[in-house]
Structure 1
Amino acid sequence: MRIGIVCPYSFDAPGGVQFHVRDLAEELIRLGHEVSVLAPADDSTPVPDYVVPSGRTVAIPYNGSVARLNFGPVVGARVRRWVSEGDFDLLHIHEPFLPSLSMLALWAADGPVVGTFHTSMERSRGLQAISPVVVPMLEKITGRIAVSAEARRTLVQHLGGDAVIVPNGVYVDRFARAPRDPRWVGADERPTVAFLGRLDEPRKGLPILADAVGPVLDQVPGARFLVAGRGEAAAERAQLAPFGDAVEFLGGVSDEEKASLFASVDVYVAPQTGGESFGIVLVEAMSGGALTVAADIPAFQAVLEDGAVGRLFRRGDSSSLARTLVDVLSHRAETAPVRERAATAVRRYDWSTVTSQVLAVYDMVLSTAHARVREDPRSRTMFGRLRAAATERTWA
């Protein structure tokens, strides 16, 4: 099968969606399919051979984070050329409603299309503003996937329709078999707690963890906190400096280092305040063997099965986080059953299972298709795209 995958977010600064697209593409290639990924990236950015860069991006605040997107007539021409030359059996567009590369690809495509929705949000004036244009275009999508119940809720609430839930994937065994790093391995008197996330993105919750460190050290004086991720976070660094070597900032870590971190530490903490549709890092941490402590946002509650395979604390409440960490660090032996349940639960997220579910959606879409993906002639002008999207309810 020839599959074209569109990623809206830049490979210059990869995040969860980019890693999902990369891993899905590589798993499909491993299974014998031909895959091309269209994604924003500067010409000088190293990307895998199967990635076609669509050019530089613009940083735009989005859903509590910063999205690096590209759009416009030049990018539109590149998209149409990629669609036309790709001769794809099927096009798989991630975040189709995002005004970016994904929307341009949806405009350009005429043929079998699958859309995957990753975003979770409560209300969005932006989505409300563009919904008259976006909703008719979504009728071009034959198969819809949401990565979680929260992502599905966002789709239904803002744009209507429905989607089958297929979660994000993880190579579980890569984390389960990762070597332990002596620098990060905890001991009875020196248990280790890890945080991983963009340090300067407030919704990742570093300020919540920073406020909890002192109370935890009062009760567990030997605890060590390992803070991994890119970003300055000057205020948190200054706040935590008095604790000396009890807090260590690791900076950005590679995929291999991340796996070793989760295999080494006693606890992984996820203090996010919202804006998460799934929680792939929780699955990675559980796969590595770390006990996961997370804020009780809906997406994390779902992954941790309401606390059956991890521990939850009140979102945004550093006192609740501190009490939870003191409890699990003081009674580490009692957490063994939770870790065992987690090791079993993560198997449902392994890429072998997830890819089979994605391929089932592909098969469903192709069973109703009568042609390969080709360029939609209405995509050649911006006016034509907007007029078609706003006025037509059925697509040829």
Structure 2
Amino acid sequence: MRICLIGSSRFPIREPFAGGLEAHTHALARELLRRGHDVSLFAAAGSDPALNVVHLPCAVYESDEESRRDVAAPPEQWMDEHHAYLGLMMDLVRSGRRSFDVIHNNSLHHLPIAMSSAVDLPIITTLHTPPVPWLTSAIAYAGDNCHFVSVSHATARAWSPMIASTPVHNGIDLDQWSPGPGGGPAVWSGRIVPEKAPHQAARAARSIGMPLWIAGEILDRRYFTTEVQPLLGDGIEYVGHLTHRELTDLVGRATVAVVTPAWEEPFGLVAVEALACGTPVAAFARGALGEIVDETTGALAPGGDVPALALAMRAAATRDRVVVRAAARARFSHSAMVDSYVDLYRRATGATTEDPAA
């Protein structure tokens, strides 16, 4: 099939990934290409060229002095992204049918949904977040050609008052996330922002004397400086923004992975990555994490309860790493995820021809 895959205009789809959304887009595009589909990935400059990337030109707006005097004027970054997606959607309105069979919107931007009725192609949008204003408002303008996927049953339930969606769990390449020996410190990985709350992992680890590695890109410098940095030392270490290989090695050597969302986590890709390395997970029971972590793969604690999280870390550390890895293989392979998406593409387009590449 000829697939237009819309990714992030802000963060490149390449290692080291800014977050789970970028990792998901990379895995999806790579597997679709491996199966022989014709994929064009529209994404930020600097994305992996092996993915047949068309750059979203996110640097076209520069405000003048007069517009900057308007206190209600939107930030330049917002305008950059708006124009990048507007340009793409206008191109798809004009000529999308000649180039593609289906559009898969894997971005967080509102325009692919809001402008969908003007495009003569089926559009599948993956909902990676709980309902947020810029997307919920766009859904009012969604065309009949729109189909929605949620990354978990929890996310599908959250969106159900506004739109029906098909749950498809995110998957990972289990060959790239290989089992490790464990026995090292605990590990926390992800975007370092308030809603991921690594400071709570640090507090829980310190309370039980368990060393902790914190890995990820610092996207909110103020949060890191005020909430995370003061907790470093005495076994709590920030190890930086790692490549995939470095992160796989780190997670595989960890005794337990800690996941601490301060919001209703739509999925929890870092938890699945840890399971694939054989590393059990201690997590706050928010959003979809209850669909990933159970008594055989780790332990859950009530959201925001740091003492309970510390107990969950101790309990998770006793889980059998072979069983943990087997659970990831059985439930979260990227091959199964792509099978589900290809089936959705075919149903949306009405395609019935058997394709051995699918």
Give the TM interval when normalised to the shorter protein.
0.7 to 0.9
What is the CA–CA distance in structure 1 between the aligned matches of 2:313 and 2:48, rounded to whole Å?
39
Who is 1:202 aligned against?
Answer: 194
TM-score normalized by the length of structure 2:
0.80
Shift of 1:108: 4.5
- What's the Cα RMSD here? 2.8
User: 1:185-210: CA deviations, max 9, x gaps?
Assistant: 63xxxx410011222x1111222123
> CA, structure 1 residues 68+319, in 2 after alignment: closer, same or farther (shift >3 Å)?
farther
Who is 2:142 aligned against?
Answer: 137
> CA, structure 1 residues 324+68, in 2 after alignment: closer, same or farther (shift >3 Å)?
farther
% of aligned pairs identical? 24
Shift of 1:113: 2.4
Does residue 317 (structure 1) correspond to residue 305 (structure 2)? The answer is: yes
Who is 1:213 aligned against?
Answer: 205
AA of the residue aligned to 1:80: M
> CA, structure 1 residues 110+295, in 2 after alignment: closer, same or farther (shift >3 Å)?
same
Who is 1:109 aligned against?
Answer: 119
Who is 1:251 aligned against?
Answer: 240
Contact kept in structure 2, 1:38 and 1:52, CA below 8 Å: yes
Equivalences for 1:171-320 in 2 at 5 Å?
171-176=173-178, 186=183, 191-199=184-192, 201-217=193-209, 223-231=210-218, 232=221, 233-241=224-232, 243=234, 246-305=235-294, 307-320=295-308
> CA, structure 1 residues 18+104, in 2 after alignment: closer, same or farther (shift >3 Å)?
farther
Who is 1:6 aligned against?
Answer: 6
Q: How many residues align?
A: 324
Who is 1:61 aligned against?
Answer: none
TM-score normalized by the length of structure 1:
0.73
Equivalences for 1:321-340 in 2 at 5 Å?
321-329=309-317, 332=318, 335-336=319-320, 339-340=321-322
Shift of 1:46: 4.5
Q: Which structure carries more helix by proportion?
A: 1
Who is 1:342 aligned against?
Answer: 324
> CA, structure 1 residues 227+325, in 2 after alignment: closer, same or farther (shift >3 Å)?
same
AA of the residue aligned to 2:49: P
Equivalences for 1:10-159 in 2 at 5 Å?
10-12=10-12, 14-39=18-43, 41-42=44-45, 45-49=46-50, 50-56=52-58, 70-72=80-82, 75-81=85-91, 84=95, 87-94=99-106, 98-100=109-111, 102-103=112-113, 106-121=116-131, 124=132, 126=134, 130=137, 134-141=139-146, 143-157=147-161, 159=162
> CA, structure 1 residues 74+51, in 2 after alignment: closer, same or farther (shift >3 Å)?
closer
> CA, structure 1 residues 264+105, in 2 after alignment: closer, same or farther (shift >3 Å)?
farther
What is the CA–CA distance in structure 1 between the aligned matches of 2:232 and 2:148, rounded to whole Å?
48
User: 1:284-313: CA deviations, max 9, x gaps?
Assistant: 1000011111111131011114x3421111
What is the CA–CA distance in structure 2 between the aligned matches of 1:106 and 1:345, rounded to whole Å?
38
User: 1:296-331: CA deviations, max 9, x gaps?
Assistant: 1131011114x34211112111111222224455xx
User: 1:28-79: CA deviations, max 9, x gaps?
Assistant: 110111100112x24xx35425111112269xxxxxxxx9785445652343
Contact kept in structure 2, 1:115 and 1:145, CA below 8 Å: yes
Q: Which runs of 5+ in 1 are unaligned?
A: 59-66, 218-222, 370-396
Contact kept in structure 2, 1:119 and 1:154, CA below 8 Å: no
> CA, structure 1 residues 9+154, in 2 after alignment: closer, same or farther (shift >3 Å)?
farther
SS at match of 1:283: helix
Who is 1:165 aligned against?
Answer: 167
What is the CA–CA distance in structure 1 between the aligned matches of 2:34 and 2:246, rounded to whole Å?
24
> CA, structure 1 residues 20+138, in 2 after alignment: closer, same or farther (shift >3 Å)?
farther
Q: Equivalent of 2:337, from 354, 366, 370?
A: 354
Greater RCO (CA < 8 Å, at least 6 residues apart)? 1
Who is 2:67 aligned against?
Answer: none
Contact kept in structure 1, 2:2 and 2:37, CA below 8 Å: yes
SS at match of 1:37: strand
Which of structure 1's runs of 4+ aligned residues deviate more than 4 A? 67-75, 124-128
AA of the residue aligned to 1:343: R
Shift of 1:9: 4.8
